[in-house]
């Protein structure tokens, strides 16, 4: 379990740079539900994820949420070091959705290194472009995909991540992921239930017809 | 009229890098309405804008548009060199909205230089972060701001850009900017007209009560 195996451009750094990273980096094991980054209040550093699952979400000024993307093992989390980029004019929050393990390269060291290493700076560009792409994909969904199809897609994605057709998730929580109101989610889930695609019990959504949900999601 | 005065990190480049840029760069004067970049089909290069106005918009697979942001003099256009970033997984189009003048630093040279110069690579990061911020702002508007307020804001912004209260713009064009259907725009403009905020004639929207529009936009 070595940082060098998880950090994509490790071999493009100088030996001295590698040493400085190893010296300053902590290994960190936050349990599920830990808030790692809370907008501009935090600037922990670059997170190199060994295992687990992170959720990166946008929080509006009046407290509404939408999930932007998830990060998994071997991913690098950039916005936890957002203070390195004065041009970032928006705040995101980052939380663990499963017990996770990660290396933290402190922001101050990361800021120094992107000024020295074109490899690291260019890798940062690629990371930023990847996240940008995920947000553009999401915007397209929001703009032009109806809510029933987005919800069907969300339930299938959750089922895939949890490796279960029984999702332990509240309507409130689904609403936060999707950036909408709880009532909207409840109404649509009841429609799905009437159509035989899910079965609802308190705090649980059971997928009963994956094929129909999938057809809807891709319609 | 020197590129060195328009390219923000000029003085952080080596003399040799400056020479290579000057040698390879063209000055270009596309008239209003020129399509400079059409998704992944083009990769002109980094555009350093001397004067004019560019519109960067997203085009969905089925041909729907939404304006992401505008660029003006002294801005640098990054996505016209998107082939430099394999992680960019979305296509945008870029067109001139006014007669414009700009320098074009070819993509191949730009790609070489970001591998050599941390200054240029970090500047690229800041550019990407700026554009990302504009798209996040837009997403927040789309998610949580009602269409009447968005449209009021759009009309005021256009009026500001054109320095006129008489906007020569079709409902179809407004719909493309805002990522919606023409009918939705027409319906809302008629409502605005009934409220005395605009007066509609063929191909023109005349703002008759700027104060009321502004109040709506910021409500």
- Decide which of B101, B117, B143 is a domain's last residue: B143
pLDDT in the model for residue A39: 87
**Cβ within 8 Å, pair A137-B88:** no
**B155 in the same domain as B132:** no
Three-state DSSP state, B67 = strand
Phi-psi region of B206 (alpha: psi -120 to 50; beta: other; left: phi over 0): beta
A87 touches B at CB < 8 Å: yes
Number of domains in chain A: 2
Q: Do A87 and B114 touch (CB under 8 A)?
A: no
Residue B145's Cβ-count burial label (10 Å; 0-12, 13-18, 19+) is: middle
Q: Which of B120, B143, B166 is the last residue of a domain?
A: B143
Tell me if B157 sits within 8 A of B150, measured CB to CB. Answer: no
Count the Cβ atoms, other than its own, within 10 Å of residue B120.
Answer: 23
pLDDT score of A1: 77
Contacts for B199 with CB less than 8 Å, ≥ 6 apart? B193, B205, B206, B208
The residues of chain A scoring below 70 in pLDDT are none
Identify the domain containing residue B149 by its residue range: 145-217
Look at residue B94 in the predicted model and tell me its pLDDT: 97
Q: Is B179 within 8 Å of A129 when comparing Cβ atoms?
A: no
| Chain A residues inside the 8 Å CB shell of B137 | 89-90
CB atoms within 10 A of CB B57: 17
Are both A113 and A209 inside the same structural domain? Answer: no
Phi first, then psi: give them for residue A68, nearest 5 degrees. Answer: -90, -45
* Residue B118 sits in the same domain as residue B201: no
Distance between CA atoms of residues A9 and A32, nearest Å: 28
Residues sharing a CB contact under 8 Å with residue B146, sequence separation 6 or more, in sequence order: none
The rounded distance, in Å, linking the Cα atoms of B84 and B76 is 15
Establish if B9 touches chain A: CB-CB under 8 angstroms. Answer: no
Alpha carbons A180 and B209: distance in angstroms, whole number: 33
Which among A128, A140, A179 has the least Cβ separation from residue B129?
A128
pLDDT digits (tens, 9 = 90+) for A50-70: 999 999 999 887 788 999 999
Residues B180 and B210 in one domain: yes
Question: Which structure tokens are listed for B56?
Answer: 């960067």
Conformational region of residue A45, where left means phi above 0, alpha means psi within -120 to 50, and beta covers everything else:
left
Encode chain B (219 residues) as per-residue pLDDT tens digits.
799 999 999 999 999 999 999 999 999 999 999 999 998 888 999 999 999 999 999 988 778 899 999 999 999 999 999 999 989 988 899 999 999 999 999 999 999 999 999 999 999 999 999 999 999 999 988 888 889 999 999 999 999 999 999 999 999 999 999 999 899 999 899 999 989 999 999 999 999 999 999 999 998
A187 touches chain B (CB under 8 A): no
| CATH code for the domain in which residue A65 is found | 2.60.120.10
A140 touches chain B (CB under 8 A): yes
pLDDT tens column, A124-154: 999 999 999 999 999 988 888 889 999 999 9
Q: Calculate what percentage of chain A has a pLDDT beyond 90.
A: 83
- The reported pLDDT for the residue numbered A129 is 96
Q: What pLDDT sits at residue B198?
A: 96
Residue of B119, B139, B140, B179 best to disrupt the A interface, most CBs of A under 10 A: B139
What was the pLDDT predicted at A59? Answer: 86
Per DSSP, helices labelled H in chain A are: 3-6, 15-24, 107-116, 118-144, 147-162, 171-178, 182-194, 210-217
Say whether both A15 and A117 belong to one domain.
yes
A91 plus A112 within the same structural domain = yes
Please tell me the distance from the alpha carbon of residue A205 to that of residue A167, in angstroms, as a whole number.
Answer: 5
CATH value at residue B176: 1.10.10.10
Q: What is the pLDDT of residue A82?
A: 92
- Indicate if B99 and B157 belong to the same structural domain: no
Residue A179 touches partner B, C-beta closer than 8 Å: yes
Q: Give A 35-64 residues with CB within 8 A of chain B.
A: 58, 60, 62, 64
- Whether residues B153 and B93 share a domain: the answer is no
Return the residue of B nearest to A60 by Cα: B140
Question: Based on the domain organization, do B161 and B75 belong to the same domain?
Answer: no
DSSP B131: H
Strand partners, A65: A59
**pLDDT given at position A219:** 86
* Chain B contact for A191 (CB, 8 A cutoff): no
Same domain assignment for residues A120 and A156: no
Using the 3D structure, point to which of A120, A142, A164 is the last residue of a domain. A142
CB contact under 8 A, A135 and B131: no
B129/B44 same-domain check: yes
């Amino acid at each position: 379990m070595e940082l060098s195996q998880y950090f994509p451009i490790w071999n493009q750094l100088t030996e001295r740079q590698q040493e400085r990273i190893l010296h300053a980096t902590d290994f960190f094991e936050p349990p599920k539900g830990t808030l790692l980054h809370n907008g501009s209040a935090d600037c922990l550093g670059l997170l190199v994820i060994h295992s687990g699952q992170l959720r990166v979400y946008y929080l509006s000024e009046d407290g509404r949420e939408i999930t932007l993307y998830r990060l998994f093992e071997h991913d690098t989390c950039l916005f936890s070091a957002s203070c390195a980029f004065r041009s970032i004019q928006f705040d995101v929050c980052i939380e663990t959705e499963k017990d996770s393990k990660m290396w933290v390269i402190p922001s101050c060291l990361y800021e120094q290194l992107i000024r020295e290493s074109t490899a690291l700076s260019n890798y940062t560009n690629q990371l930023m472009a990847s996240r940008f792409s995920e947000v553009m994909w999401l915007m397209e969904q929001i703009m032009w995909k109806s809510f029933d199809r987005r919800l069907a897609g969300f339930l299938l994605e959750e089922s895939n991540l949890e490796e279960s057709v029984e999702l332990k998730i509240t309507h409130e929580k689904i609403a936060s992921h999707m950036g909408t109101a709880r009532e909207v989610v409840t109404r649509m889930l009841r429609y799905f239930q009437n159509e035989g695609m899910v079965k609802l019990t308190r705090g649980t959504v059971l997928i009963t017809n994956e094929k129909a949900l999938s057809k809807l999601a891709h319609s």
